[in-house]
Structure 1
Amino acid sequence: MSKTLEDTVNEALDQLRPFLEQDGGDMELVEITEDKVVRVRLLGACRDCSMSAMTMKAGLEEAVKRAAPEVIRVEAVDPSDTFIN
């Protein structure tokens, strides 16, 4: 059974999750768009952290792209946004 892109992205996020949880934060995968943009929602302390932009670029995006090179970028969505998949 081959892994889907969503499985691969979730595995990359799971590897980073403990570092976010140390600081009282977390994240969840919201969607992967048709053009391979990964959208995540930062939760807890990460939502309002002044370092969240750096966390996104240096941590999350790098790890996701390393695991899934076809991903174009990773972006955070507003925690109050709701999506229908």
Structure 2
Amino acid sequence: MKDKVLAVLDEVRPMLQRDGGDVEFVELSDDNTVYVRLRGACGSCPGAMMTLKGGIERLMKERIPEIKSVESVQ
């Protein structure tokens, strides 16, 4: 499951990097919650939650239906 999560993050990473940001995998919990850290421009962007929930989480759940949610950590 972790390999699938990393593959999805690798898929979205180029879009984030174009805007000066990045996403770092932190943890996959037992209840299938993915924890990530938004870095660079994404860490301080006012639209970070939209990127996280509307972009990364949406794609993650689409590709891996078992994923419960994607949450950002500091």
2:21 aligned with 1:25, yes or no?
A: yes
Aligned length: 74
Q: TM-score, normalised by structure 1?
A: 0.85
Look up the match of 1:67.
Answer: 63
Partners in 2 of 1:10 and 1:62 — Cα distance? 15
Going by fraction, where is helix more abundant, 1 or 2?
A: 2
Q: Which runs of 5+ in 2 are unaligned?
A: none
Q: TM-score, normalised by structure 2?
A: 0.97
Aligned-pair identity (%): 46
Partners in 2 of 1:32 and 1:67 — Cα distance? 15
Q: Which runs of 5+ in 1 are unaligned?
A: 79-85
Once superposed, what is the RMSD of the aligned Cα atoms?
A: 0.6
Equivalent in 54, 57, 61 of residue 58 of structure 1: 54
Instruction: Detail structure 1 runs of 4+ shifted over 2 Å in the superposition.
Output: none
SS in 1 for 2:31: coil
Q: Tell which structure's C-alpha radius of gyration is larger.
A: 1
